[in-house]
Amino acid sequence: MASVILQAEGLKRHFGGLKAVDGVDLALNAGEIHALIGPNGAGKTTLVSLLSGRQVPDAGAIRFDGTDITRLPAHERVRRGIGYTFQITAIYAGLSVFDNLALAVQRGHTRDLSRAVTEAAARVGLEDLLPQIAGTLSYGHQRLLEIGMGLALHPRLLILDEPTQGFAAGEIEGFMALVRGLVPATTVLLIEHNMDVVMALAERITVLDQGRVLASGLPAEIRANRAVQDAYLGGSHAGD
């Protein structure tokens, strides 16, 4: 039986009358790729903020590797092995690719900085672009740089929030190969609107709708779920 690396129970986050996250349970098995999907306004972005420590839940608990992290700030979760990327790139546009990766590597207290940066760049296919200013990269390469910065921390759990947004069609296959190569050493939580990517990568899928879990299961089960079809698969695939 797979071990659970992250367990969220009864998470709630309300904004006035809006129940953005309303009693969500989520369990991530170690070494798996788990996708989180749902229509616009489903609560995906708020849930990611709760898991990464950017927001504190109104109720509920989050445990990582058996330890309660519900009230830990984001930087402390990073130190414990939770890495994440955002819907909007969070790179340092005025610095080189090398310097962006170096800043991430330094947070991991790596002794051989140059070697660690080169290895991180190679993992995302940017080793030939290390001198380039990050803000001049294509959007797809900026997304890869952000993922590389996350991987430089050697996370045990990597949360990827809409990672293929802005990718050209030819870049998506390379991204999927990258993600497949992360497991089982790294658990991946993938928040993604591209259902072809979700179905190709995810071992399990959780569907949110109106702040609650609508369904959770294997890709084939989710695809065949009538409630999911009505709420999401039959409609818009845009992220929130």
15-55 per-position pLDDT tens digit: 999 999 999 999 999 999 999 999 988 999 999 999 999 99
CATH class of the domain comprising 1-81+185-240: alpha beta
pLDDT at residue 235 in the model:
47
- Examine the pLDDT at 239 and tell me if it is beyond 50: no
Element of type H or E holding 203: none
- Is a pLDDT exceeding 90 seen at residue 233? no
- Residue pLDDT, tens place only, 116-174: 999 999 999 999 999 999 999 988 899 899 999 988 888 999 999 988 988 888 889 99
Q: How far is CA 179 from CA 38, 53, 63, 173, in A?
A: 21, 23, 24, 10
Q: What is the pLDDT of residue 108?
A: 62
pLDDT digits (tens, 9 = 90+) for 178-228: 999 999 999 999 999 999 999 999 999 999 999 999 999 999 999 999 999
Q: Which residue type sits at 58?
A: D
State the amino acid at position 143 in one-letter form: R
What pLDDT, on a 0 to 100 scale, did the predictor assign at position 160? 94
Averaged pLDDT of the chain: 91
pLDDT of 209 reads 94
Contact 62, 69 (CB under 8 A): yes
In this prediction, residue 5 has a pLDDT band, given cuts at 50, 70 and 90, of: very high
Domain ranges in the chain are 1-81+185-240
Predicted pLDDT at 1: 62
The first and second tokens of residue 187, run together, are 């658990």
**pTM score of the predicted model:** 0.90
What pLDDT does residue 37 have?
95
pLDDT at residue 35 in the model: 98
Which of 36, 25, 14, 29 has the alpha carbon at shortest distance from 60? 25
Q: Indicate the helix (H) or strand (E) that contains 82.
A: strand 82-85
Question: Could you tell me whether strands 157-161 and 187-191 are parallel, antiparallel, or unpaired per DSSP bridges?
Answer: parallel
**Residue 43: φ, ψ to 5°:** 110, 10
**DSSP structure string for 52-65:** HTSS--SEEEEEET
Which residues fall within 8 angstroms of residue 74, CB to CB, at 6 or more apart? 52, 53, 54
Give the model's pLDDT for residue 40. 87
Instruction: Count Cβ atoms below 10 Å from residue 2 Cβ, excluding itself.
Output: 13
Per residue in 61-118, pLDDT (tens digit) is 999 999 999 999 999 999 899 998 865 567 999 999 999 999 988 876 566 899 999 9
> How far is residue 154's CA from residue 169's CA, in Å, rounded to a whole number?
28
